[in-house]
Structure 1
Amino acid sequence: MSGERAFSRLLLAPITLVYLLFLIAPISFFLAMSLFRYDAFELYIPTLTGENFARLVTDGYYRDIILRTLKIAFLTAAFSLLLGYPLAYFLARTKTIWRGVLMFLVIAPLMSGVIVRTYGWIILLGSEGALNRALLWTGVIAEPLKLLNTEGAVLVALVHILMPYMVFPLFSSLASQDPDVERAAGTLGAGRIRTFFEVTLPLSKAGIAMGSALVFTLAAGAVVTPALLGGKNVQMLGQQIYDLVLSTLNWPLASAIAFVLVACQFVIIGLYFRTGKAKAGVV
């Protein structure tokens, strides 16, 4: 038994080392940096202070950025779920020979870079873009709409870019369900709508939690899409960290913001695992 335990630890050693070097060590580094005092000439002074975190709470500018990031990340996860669940349900239940092709079409956007897909939305939503031209041509509007540099543009693009990360956990959860359970519910008199809400949907909670956690964390840390589609009007935490590190060179404040972002993401992931334990009956 001790030999098996030693072998298990040996197998876990490489991934443990990777996590220590590339996750725990960087997080520990910028946590320590976030407690240092900023200096314009030396970047930071190793004097412990809580002013960086206090600034995030007391300064309305940074407080708004945190709230905006959480709002956009939550809405991205919510809309991805609303749009992705029917698609995942169809893919999990369909018996068509084109199922593989449909699965490929879902994953195909991931084969192009985020910048490429974001610029595609710039072409669509710009003042001279395809959407404004179509609305002008049909007479729906008299002048181009301001669609870029808005939270709506960032939200739409993030939902499109992150949709596969919602669909595949949902598909896995739905495809693993025993179809006899739904047939049994129908045999007992439940209609299709009642079967869905009382059988199918509860059994897919693990996929919903996983997809929501993935999309939320990826949206909260997005940099390129908010920068290109939101500009200075829609600042998010990822952009702010980038600007503070490379432009302002305020590494302590950037580290504090990064720690807040990572903490929010860990909370979401922690809630996901807690949901999984509750489903398994583990306290």
Structure 2
Amino acid sequence: MSQQSSRAGGLFGAALMSPIGILYLCFLLLPIGFFLSLSFFTYSAQQMYVAEPTLDNYSRLIFDGYYRRIIYDTIRVSLVVTVITLVFGYALAYFLTRVKSTWRGIMMFLIIAPLMTGVIVRTYGWIVLLGTDGLVNAILVWIGIVERPISMLGNEKTVIVALVHIMLPYMVFPIFSSLVAQDPHLVPAASTLGAKPLRTFFEVTLPLSRSGIVMGSVIVFTMTSGSIVTVELLGGRDMTMMGQLIYQLILSTFNWPLGAAVAALLVLCQFIMISYYFRKMRRAY
């Protein structure tokens, strides 16, 4: 009787999941699969691509120094943004778990509020702040630190600062969830056993929040590596990341096979990060 009921429950669950599964298959997996398959096609200036199998697109990404530099810069900037966001995000999430419920709600709203505006709006906000006629330059000139406005746009540091600001909420919430889920009696118990606050944090609180750390890092890394608007508006001509490169190859030069190869490599990097997350979670539990 139990086997029949479990089998019926499995069939019922499969029936419930089938509509969303078909939706994902038709409108997500198949289009992405077809697009990635274009990376093995040959580029044609007249037809965009022809169905002639080739590995030239991947060889260009591997042996051409221009594309290698873009791949390296994308991974490096994504890692830097992830690390900085992790430091600030963990501190903010840890603080949120220690404040009273009223202030916690207010601060949570302030963290969520930037997500209510688009990325373009937030990026233009940084242009207003850091432009030669912006607020930061006005304050620096007024204080006397600089004699005339300085250029703060069009460089990698500005892009990193803006991306940290944009990605911070995606790091805070997974870490906050893992911290709130911890048993509140663990810290007093460690203190009773003679552990100092710093030791309690590194040996109790931090290890138990590993799931939130890894999940937040995966989200921030994958979103940063595919950023287009922020890098395009704040990075200037000398900075290009893989998201921008895909956009340029697809919509500007119409080199779909090479753009698909860059997208496939970007998806591979993101897949490695996601696989790392699930492996860490299996070891933790």
What is the TM-score of this pair, normalised by structure 2?
0.95
Cα drift, residue 6 of structure 1: 1.2
Paired position in structure 1 for 2:26: 21
Query: Do structure 1's residue 125 and structure 2's residue 130 form an aligned pair?
Result: yes
Match of 1:57 among 56, 62, 83: 62
Q: Conserved in 2, the CA contact under 8 Å of 1:93 and 1:175? A: no
Paired position in structure 1 for 2:174: 169
Paired position in structure 2 for 1:251: 256
Cα drift, residue 154 of structure 1: 0.8
List alignment gaps of at least 5 residues for structure 1: none
Name the CA distance, whole Å, in 2 between partners of 1:171 and 1:103: 10
Paired position in structure 1 for 2:92: 87
Cα drift, residue 41 of structure 1: 0.6
Paired position in structure 2 for 1:72: 77
Name the SS for the 1:233 alignment partner.
coil
Deviation string for 1:143-195 (max 9, x for gaps)?
43332111111110011011100000011000111010111100000011110
Name the CA distance, whole Å, in 2 between partners of 1:152 and 1:108: 24
Paired position in structure 2 for 1:191: 196
Name the CA distance, whole Å, in 2 between partners of 1:15 and 1:198: 42
Name the SS for the 2:240 alignment partner.
coil
Q: Which moved more, 1:110-119 or 1:13-22?
A: 13-22
Cα drift, residue 11 of structure 1: 2.0
Deviation string for 1:129-156 (max 9, x for gaps)?
2212222222222343332111111110
Cα drift, residue 265 of structure 1: 0.9
Name the CA distance, whole Å, in 1 between partners of 2:20 and 2:67: 36
Letter in 1 for 2:177: S
Cα drift, residue 104 of structure 1: 0.5
Name the CA distance, whole Å, in 2 between partners of 1:275 and 1:18: 30
Name the CA distance, whole Å, in 1 between partners of 2:196 and 2:265: 46
Q: Which moved more, 1:90-99 or 1:102-111?
A: 90-99
Cα drift, residue 96 of structure 1: 4.4
Match of 1:31 among 33, 36, 43: 36
Match of 1:219 among 197, 217, 224: 224
Name the SS for the 2:121 alignment partner.
helix
Cα drift, residue 31 of structure 1: 1.9
What is the TM-score of this pair, normalised by structure 1?
0.96
Give the alignment of 1:230-241 within 5 angstroms.
230-241=235-246
Name the CA distance, whole Å, in 1 between partners of 2:98 and 2:22: 41
Q: Which moved more, 1:1-10 or 1:233-242?
A: 1-10
Query: Do structure 1's residue 104 and structure 2's residue 104 form an aligned pair?
Result: no
Report how many residues are paired.
280
Paired position in structure 2 for 1:263: 268
